[in-house]
Amino acid sequence: MKFAVLVNEGPYQHQASDTAYQFVHAALQAGHDVMRVFFYHDGVNNGTRLTSPPQDDRHIQKRWSDLAAEHKLDLVLCVAACQRRGIVDEDEMKRNGKDADNIAEGFRISGLGQLIEAGIEADRLITFGD
C-alpha cells in the first residue's frame, strides 16, 4: 500500500508527531511505501534544526531526519506555515533577507500542491493532529 502522511502538530506540544513517526516507521518495516510526509500548521516545527531537547528526552526532529535518510523519505514543510513560524531554507533565507537558515537535514520547503499530489497518488492519506 502507498501512504501519504499529514502532520499538523509540533513535536513537543502534542503526541501527533510521535504517533506519525511510529506509524511511518512501522509502515516502512512492513514493506509499505510512504511517498511523502507533509508537515502543516504547527507541524512544520518538526523541521527546524535548532531543536535541542534535553539529553534524556527524545529528539523528534532527529528521528524524522534519520528515517528520511534511511528510507529516502520525502519530508515536506508547508512554505506558508514556515514563513509564519520563522523556518527557512537557503532559498527562503535569501528571498526574505534573513541571515541564516534553520531547516533540518532531510526536510524541504514547498507548497500545498505537494499535499494535493500526495493525496491523489497515495492509496491512503493519514492525518495526525487537528
Q: How many CB atoms lie within 10 A of CB 24?
A: 25
* Cα 50 from Cα 103, distance rounded (Å): 8
Beta bridge partners of 33: 2
Catalytic residue, candidates 78, 87, 104, 118: 78
Residue 127: φ, ψ to 5°: -110, 135
Is residue 116 classed as helix, strand or coil in its secondary structure? helix
Please say whether the dihedral angle defined by the alpha carbons of residues 130, 2, 70 and 111, taken in this order, is positive or negative. Answer: negative
* Cα 21 from Cα 70, distance rounded (Å): 13
- Whether 82 sits among the annotated catalytic residues: the reply is no
Catalytic residues: 78
